[in-house]
């Protein structure tokens, strides 16, 4: 059996995705690898397929119990012997795990990094052959990354204690150049094959909305999404509680997740979401890492995260099945101030760091927050902005984000820019410097008590933009910072300063034009794929297939997407398999699943075709194929009667 046989038989795919085969080949040649691949790009296959071909066991280090359980359930369902060891195991389960593991009954074992410290685990690793150690969510090893976990430093300590050295593979969805280098150095990767497949996920629509009322906008979006499953991220526990309570009062099916809940409730709420008993998960960033739920149709950020790495990772939990999905961020200026406070009062940092290191972490966090703010305030292509941040070539316009599909007009803001820069200059002349909010208030002519007490109402620039909306003033300030006509310091309390380019504006040497939205961004009409998916989602057959999938999932006590993804069900609607040979042609159907479920699904499809011979056909190019399948079924039915 080779890599292609395993891909087809166990995972039900005909070909590899971008980058997968190169990584697999390098692992099989005995080389360490570092894979930077976006969520939904198929990272897990890059180590699961080699694990099936290598002589010994593959040990996968994973940060969360939920990730391990999901992966093990999926592998077991596909006919691969896998297990996980973590704090959720009882004494009897714990001993049973080691009994079977020592007998080489597992090809893939998932373990939490904390487990590596135990003497029993180290003895186990010496008594069996571990061919490969895979580090999932590898960015957690870097203290300069957005999600540093000190427990990940135990991985290299564990490897150093072994009397032999397995192949080391490391994977993450988010890593800037410095974090990528950090991963390779800390894990001591030996001449690793490194591949970044690209951060662009074309199936995701990215949007930033600046609503007057976030909750009203949230409910409007949720109504539009109908019965799709999705996540709403809030910045604080209090925000999660308030939003979840309101949504349930307004008739939405929502549950909650944050670190303040008991472990028992977190587990229950997470399972309610994974098993589709609840449609919406309202959560802090404590939820989601490693959640392999494939049918998440939208991710809405109720508040702005503190960095683009976190946003990309959290938003990327939408559309893992490759189907179109929405990633929407609801933004206002208060989000920036809240994040600044959280960074300044971060109690999650490793207390072993020196004062200088702690300050460096804070400085880097502030720098990341600055770029996150730019993302929320830019009028240029959002996808392009994000790709550039990760060091990747980008589009001029992607056509699938709110800045590309919204209506904008190029507006001359030269006079406004001169007023703003003059205000920063006048304040500095007085021996003072202030942040964006205070400068905007001065320009607007605010009656703010602090502003008046400081005598800032006596400045010549006080109130010179009184006829301009405050949000417009703030947007223009953000644009000037992004384009380096003004500087924002990296200090604990960031203030505005003039830049080398400021003088050109004051002298009238530069014309400044900024894209201003005419109205709230609107998406274009549905794409061809979205129209096709909408057709299948509303078809009677798709609903019948979902009901059968739910029944099987209940019988086997697994989430529905472990049985088949929505994408696989839609492919069944396209291909209409009525026998086992046709069922093998469905994307996502491997040998194990075909043997287990093929007869039930084919029987349902055959009955549906017989009972609905005149059902409206699919849009676009699917019509002729469906008609051929229907005709083939009718011919087979006639032949059997004869």
Supply the angle between the helices 355-377 and 308-315 in degrees, to the nearest 10. 60
Of 32-41, 400-409, 608-617, which has the strongest mean pLDDT? Answer: 32-41
CATH 1.10.10.10 describes domain 409-517: yes
pTM: 0.68
According to the model, what pLDDT value does residue 489 have?
83
Report helix, strand or coil for 293.
coil
**What does the pLDDT average to over 392-398?**
74
Identical fold for domains 409-517 and 528-641, yes or no, is: no
**What does the pLDDT average to over 544-548?**
90
What CATH code is assigned to 204-355+370-407? Answer: 3.40.50.300
Residues in contact with 204: Cβ distance below 8 Å, sequence separation at least 6, in sequence order: 315, 316, 318, 319, 324, 325, 326, 327, 400
- Per the CB < 8 A criterion, the answer to whether 327 and 207 are in contact is yes
According to the model, what pLDDT value does residue 613 have?
74
Q: Which helix (H) or strand (E) holds 88?
A: none
**Least confident residue range of 322-336, 504-518, 557-571:** 504-518
According to the model, what pLDDT value does residue 553 have?
87
Residues in contact with 624: Cβ distance below 8 Å, sequence separation at least 6, in sequence order: none
According to the model, what pLDDT value does residue 325 have?
94
Per-residue pLDDT at 493 exceeds 80: no
**pLDDT confidence bin for 451, thresholds 50/70/90:** very high
**What does the pLDDT average to over 282-294?**
77
- Per the CB < 8 A criterion, the answer to whether 110 and 71 are in contact is yes
The listed CATH number (3.40.50.2000, 3.40.50.300, 3.40.50.1100, 3.40.50.11740) that belongs to domain 3-196: 3.40.50.300
**Least confident residue range of 223-232, 236-245, 486-495, 543-552:** 486-495
Residues in contact with 429: Cβ distance below 8 Å, sequence separation at least 6, in sequence order: none
Per-residue pLDDT at 637 exceeds 70: no
Per-residue pLDDT at 534 exceeds 70: no
The token pair that represents 613 in the structure block: 């011979």
Per-residue pLDDT at 308 exceeds 70: yes
According to the model, what pLDDT value does residue 632 have?
46
Q: Which of 353, 318, 356, 512 is nearest to 421 (CA)?
A: 512
Q: Residue 25, exposed/middle/buried by CB under 10 A (0-12, 13-18, 19+)?
A: middle
State the average pLDDT for the chain. 84
Choose between 164 and 291: higher pLDDT: 164
- Condensed to tens digits (0 to 9), the pLDDT of residues 39-49 reads 777 889 999 99
Rounded distance between C-alpha atoms, residue 440 and residue 469, angstroms: 10
Per-residue pLDDT at 524 exceeds 50: no
Per-residue pLDDT at 614 exceeds 80: no
**pLDDT confidence bin for 621, thresholds 50/70/90:** very low
In the chain, % of residues over pLDDT 70: 88
Residues in contact with 620: Cβ distance below 8 Å, sequence separation at least 6, in sequence order: 528, 531, 532
Per-residue pLDDT at 380 exceeds 70: yes
- Condensed to tens digits (0 to 9), the pLDDT of residues 348-359 reads 555 556 777 777
In the chain, % of residues over pLDDT 90: 37
- Condensed to tens digits (0 to 9), the pLDDT of residues 138-196 reads 888 887 666 778 788 889 999 999 999 999 999 988 777 788 889 999 999 999 999 98
CATH fold of 528-641 reads DNA polymerase; domain 1 (1.10.150)
- Per the CB < 8 A criterion, the answer to whether 153 and 119 are in contact is no
According to the model, what pLDDT value does residue 520 have?
41
Per-residue pLDDT at 27 exceeds 60: yes
Per-residue pLDDT at 639 exceeds 70: no
According to the model, what pLDDT value does residue 570 have?
85
**pLDDT confidence bin for 8, thresholds 50/70/90:** confident
Per domain, the residue ranges of the chain are 3-196, 204-355+370-407, 409-517, 528-641
């Amino acid at each position: 059996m080779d890599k292609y046989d395993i891909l087809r038989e166990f995972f039900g795919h005909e070909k590899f995705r971008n980058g997968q085969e190169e990584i697999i080949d390098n692992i099989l040649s005995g080389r360490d690898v570092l894979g930077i691949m976006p969520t939904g790009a198929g990272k897990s296959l890059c180590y699961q397929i080699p694990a099936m071909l290598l002589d010994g066991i593959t040990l996968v280090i994973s940060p969360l119990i939920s990730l391990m359980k999901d992966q093990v359930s999926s592998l077991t369902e596909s006919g691969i012997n896998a297990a996980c060891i973590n704090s959720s195991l009882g004494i009897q389960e714990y001993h049973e795990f080691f009994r079977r593991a020592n007998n080489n009954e597992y090809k893939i074992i998932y373990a939490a990094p904390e487990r590596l410290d135990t003497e029993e685990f180290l003895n186990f690793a010496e008594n069996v052959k571990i061919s490969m150690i895979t580090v999932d969510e590898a960015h957690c090893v870097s203290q300069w990354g957005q999600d540093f976990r000190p427990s990940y430093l135990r991985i290299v300590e564990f490897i150093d204690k072994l009397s032999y050295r397995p192949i080391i593979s490391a994977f993450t969805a988010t890593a800037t150049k410095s974090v990528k280098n950090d991963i390779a150095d800390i894990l001591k990767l030996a001449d690793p094959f490194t591949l970044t497949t690209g951060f662009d996920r074309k199936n995701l629509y990215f949007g930033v909305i600046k609503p007057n009322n976030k909750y009203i906008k949230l409910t409007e979006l949720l109504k539009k999404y109908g019965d799709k499953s999705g996540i709403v991220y809030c910045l604080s526990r209090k925000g999660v509680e308030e939003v979840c309570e309101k949504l349930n009062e307004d008739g939405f099916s929502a549950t909650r997740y944050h670190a303040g809940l008991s472990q028992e409730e977190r587990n229950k709420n997470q399972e309610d979401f994974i098993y589709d008993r609840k449609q919406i998960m309202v959560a802090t960033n404590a939820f989601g890492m490693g959640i392999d739920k494939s049918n998440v149709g939208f991710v809405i950020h109720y508040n702005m995260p503190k960095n683009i790495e976190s946003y990309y990772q959290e938003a990327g939990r939408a559309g893992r099945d490759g189907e179109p999905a929405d990633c929407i961020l609801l933004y206002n200026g208060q989000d920036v101030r809240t994040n600044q406070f959280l960074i300044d009062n971060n109690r999650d940092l490793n207390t072993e760091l020196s004062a200088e290191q702690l300050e460096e972490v804070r400085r880097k966090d502030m720098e990341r927050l600055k770029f996150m703010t730019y993302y929320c305030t830019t009028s240029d292509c959002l996808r392009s902005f994000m790709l550039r941040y990760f060091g990747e070539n980008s589009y001029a316009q992607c056509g699938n984000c709110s800045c590309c599909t919204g209506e904008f007009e190029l507006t001359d803001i030269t006079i406004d820019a001169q007023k703003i820069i003059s205000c920063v200059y006048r304040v500095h002349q007085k021996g003072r410097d202030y942040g964006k909010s205070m400068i905007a208030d001065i320009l607007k002519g605010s009656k703010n008590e602090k502003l008046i007490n400081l005598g800032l109402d006596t400045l010549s620039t006080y109130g010179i933009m009184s006829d301009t909306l405050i949000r417009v003033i703030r947007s223009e300030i953000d644009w000037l910072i992004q384009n380096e006509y003004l500087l924002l310091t990296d200090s604990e309390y960031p203030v505005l300063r003039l830049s080398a380019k400021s003088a050109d504006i004051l002298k009238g040497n530069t014309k400044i034009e900024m894209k201003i939205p005419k109205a709230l961004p609107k998406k274009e009409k549905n794409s061809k794929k979205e129209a096709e998916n909408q057709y299948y989602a509303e078809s009677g057959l798709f609903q019948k297939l979902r009901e059968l999938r739910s029944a099987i999932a209940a019988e086997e006590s697994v989430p529905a997407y472990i049985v088949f993804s929505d994408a696989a069900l839609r492919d069944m609607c396209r291909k209409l398999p009525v026998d086992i040979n046709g069922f093998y042609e469905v994307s996502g159907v491997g040998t194990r699943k075909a043997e287990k479920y093929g007869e039930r699904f084919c029987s349902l499809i055959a009955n549906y075709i017989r009972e609905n011979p005149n059902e409206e056909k699919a849009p676009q190019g699917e019509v002729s194929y469906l008609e051929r399948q229907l005709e083939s079924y009718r011919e087979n039915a006639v032949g059997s009667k004869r």
